[in-house]
Structure 1
Amino acid sequence: MSANAVAPERAAYYAQIARSGMSPLWESLHALVPKSPRPQALPAIWKYAQVRELVMQAGSVISAEEAIRRVLVLENPGLPGKSSLTPNLYGGLQLILPGEIAPSHRHTQSALRFIVEGKGAWTAVNGERTTMHPGDFIITPSWTWHDHGNPSVEEGGEPVVWLDGLDIPLIGHLDAGFAENYPEATQPVARPEGDSYARFGHNMLPVRHTVSDPTSPIFSYPYARSREALDTLYRNGELDDWDGVKLRYVNPATGGWPMPTMATFMQFLPAGFKGKTYRSTDSTVYCVVEGHGAVRIGEERFTFDPHDVFVAPSWVPVQLEAQSDAVLFSYSDRPVLAALNLLREERIS
């Protein structure tokens, strides 16, 4: 029977099974099981010099208290209307002004804060505060109370901006989102600043500590320590052809990722570095800490400067270059891919 003769019969059959809530797999198999990833997310960059004024203007549009979190969401152009940088990751630039409090709440989504600009503001997580400095990586574990604050101008406060990274899209896919507001604007401070780092940040653990949470017990990783480590390794001759000098943040109690759904990294690219091309099935968001350079993501080439944010979708080739000494922070959904045995990497010579 010819295809033209079969078509009306198939169309009628498809309409019949649709009324029973079914559809033919053979019509969609090629899309459901592709030969290689076909990400909807696109390579993209947000130039901080171009968006900074918009972030600062938000401070006159709405207060931190009214907004709960005064954030400009970074939306991937391939995922319009989804508040997503990648299918599993969210990113946004948050502003807190001197004298403000971003009220305490908690949610099942895990969050990271990477401090972009300004210092002296604080974040509190489960009864302990930490002071923010540019380049610090700070964790808000799933379902932990957290609030943010900034001293007044008289106390030395200044506008502070950080990059929020969350697994909001992933938790949305799983229909596992819960949230709760704390009855007061700030939670009680139960431990002095630096307590968790003293317990877990020096290659030591409290003698009777047992692991009951996959998230790191350290919630603030100072940039000064990360930068020192990268510099020492570079001076000792360590330089990977693809990554420069790249380290991953760890949970000191387990050696695993700091958060169960997001991996975090810091890397150093010396001036003149021209990396080889690589790709991976984890989607990655980068934030430039220091320096200037360029990145090729697929067919796109972007130049980057301090505080720029760019995103590399799954399985799209990436190649990094540095015009001056550069430091990049990045986060990805690698732990999820690894746990599901879906992590695949290729280093292209």
Structure 2
Amino acid sequence: MSEELGTLEDLPQDYRDEMDRAGVAPLWPMMRNVLPHGAPQPVTRPGHWTYGALRPLLLRAGELTPVEKAERRVLVLSDPGRGVGAMQTTSTIYLGIQLLLPGESAPAHRHTPSAVRIVVEGTGGYTVVDGERLPMEEGDLVLTPCGEWHDHGHDGDEPVIWLDALDLPLFVYLEGSYAIEGELQAQRNRPDASQVEYRAAGLAPTRRPGQRPRRYPMLRYPWTRTEAALRQVTIYGEGVAELDYINPETGEDVLPALGFTAMMLQAGQTHAPPLRSSSFAFHVVRGEGETVVNGKVIQWGPKDTFTAPVFADISHSAGTEAFLIRIHDRPLQDKLGYYEERPR
């Protein structure tokens, strides 16, 4: 291992001035900033957003700002390590909590980042993706992948609220983030694919020779089925029940950069996973408990959201039966070939 590296101040001023004029800089004074030894040094800090605090603010936003002036009426969850206003909760994950009131619609657009909606509260809301109308019930996971037209509507009587999870920070960093607006889509007169072609695990539509499935064949993952599957795993499995959301045709993660995992903890159960190179956001569908992230104690309840940086020391303890959805960037790290787990 190298000894302590030289600093910029070690260099003569005339040499530093010449480098400035040439538009270059020495690597060695900055090397540890980008290549620290042993493990990353994340900017991200554990965050916790209680639904009890967010809901009144979101409803007030509904009173103050009509959806026509907001396009998407969202409160952004900002990483404590980057400060309020940061458009990310970890280096790769953007989270926002969105409100749609009865009778409202959010205009159609498509954009380069991919998004997932996790429904937090309400009935009667829906998302239309490429003409497919997707009902939004509590706990459902709804995809709006990169480049797909989507709009939102609300036929119910009470507010509908959902959590947006996007890989937006990646596209901002790549300078590839943009959106295109359009008219509300014509809706196909049939139920969504989760209710027809992909109603049962292990079954997919029969294909003619040369016929290929859509890249994102199933866009809605109903919570009722997810919870039922978790309960079955709990009966016959060991430890914490976890199920990954996958593409039913390929078995791969539902999106290229972000992954989603449903978790069930029984009352009194604890879980201490290995240290992982991925960052995380956890959304509590139901239940109460405590999670310690790098020594920070987070007491969470129904509909709360909290986060953890890369290689975080995480331990969960459920006070009641609890269901969570874990959002993570392992799919991206797998593609880049560096996902890693270390023992605690």
Counterpart residue type for residue 77 of structure 2 = L
Aligned ranges for residues 111-260 of structure 1 at < 5 Å? 111-151=115-155, 156-182=156-182, 184=183, 186-195=184-193, 197-202=195-200, 203-208=203-208, 209-211=211-213, 213=215, 216-236=216-236, 238-240=237-239, 244-260=240-256
Once structures 1 and 2 are overlaid, which stretch shifts more, 118-127 or 339-348?
339-348
Contact 1:106–1:181 (Cα < 8 Å) also in 2: yes
In structure 1, C-alpha distance between the alignment counterparts of 2:316 and 2:13, rounded to whole Å = 50
- 1:45 corresponds in structure 2 to 48
Contact 1:287–1:328 (Cα < 8 Å) also in 2: yes
TM-score normalised per structure 2: 0.92
- 1:69 corresponds in structure 2 to 72
Paired residue total: 333
What is the SS of the residue equivalent to 2:262?
strand
Deviations for 1:41-95, whole angstroms, at most 9, x for unmatched residues?
1001001112211111110011122211000000011122431111111000000
Once structures 1 and 2 are overlaid, which stretch shifts more, 187-196 or 91-100?
187-196
Contact 1:121–1:157 (Cα < 8 Å) also in 2: no
- Report sequence identity in percent: 35
In structure 1, C-alpha distance between the alignment counterparts of 2:326 and 2:82, rounded to whole Å = 20
User: Residue 10 of structure 1: which of 9, 12, 32 is its match?
Assistant: 12
Contact 1:65–1:100 (Cα < 8 Å) also in 2: no
Aligned ranges for residues 267-282 of structure 1 at < 5 Å? 267-282=263-278
CA shift at 1:192, angstroms?
A: 1.5
What is the SS of the residue equivalent to 2:22?
coil
CA shift at 1:30, angstroms?
A: 1.4
Counterpart residue type for residue 188 of structure 1 = A
What is the SS of the residue equivalent to 1:227?
helix
What is the SS of the residue equivalent to 1:38?
coil
Counterpart residue type for residue 212 of structure 2 = T
Aligned ranges for residues 251-330 of structure 1 at < 5 Å? 251-330=247-326
What is the SS of the residue equivalent to 1:199?
coil
In structure 1, C-alpha distance between the alignment counterparts of 2:266 and 2:110, rounded to whole Å = 40
Aligned ranges for residues 37-116 of structure 1 at < 5 Å? 37-80=40-83, 81-116=85-120
Counterpart residue type for residue 188 of structure 2 = A
In structure 1, C-alpha distance between the alignment counterparts of 2:23 and 2:114, rounded to whole Å = 35
In structure 2, C-alpha distance between the alignment counterparts of 1:9 and 1:124, rounded to whole Å = 60
Deviations for 1:141-173, whole angstroms, at most 9, x for unmatched residues?
11111111111xxxx421010000001100111
Counterpart residue type for residue 232 of structure 1 = Q
What is the SS of the residue equivalent to 2:274?
strand
CA shift at 1:199, angstroms?
A: 2.3
CA shift at 1:205, angstroms?
A: 2.9
In structure 2, C-alpha distance between the alignment counterparts of 1:263 and 1:21, rounded to whole Å = 40
In structure 2, C-alpha distance between the alignment counterparts of 1:235 and 1:109, rounded to whole Å = 38
Deviations for 1:108-156, whole angstroms, at most 9, x for unmatched residues?
11000000011111110000101111000000011111111111xxxx4
CA shift at 1:201, angstroms?
A: 4.2
In structure 2, C-alpha distance between the alignment counterparts of 1:254 and 1:158, rounded to whole Å = 37
Unaligned runs of 5+ in 1: none
CA shift at 1:276, angstroms?
A: 2.4
TM-score normalised per structure 1: 0.91
In structure 1, C-alpha distance between the alignment counterparts of 2:12 and 2:330, rounded to whole Å = 42
In structure 1, C-alpha distance between the alignment counterparts of 2:141 and 2:91, rounded to whole Å = 23
In structure 2, C-alpha distance between the alignment counterparts of 1:268 and 1:254, rounded to whole Å = 25
In structure 2, C-alpha distance between the alignment counterparts of 1:297 and 1:256, rounded to whole Å = 28
Contact 2:194–2:221 (Cα < 8 Å) also in 1: no
CA shift at 1:10, angstroms?
A: 3.1
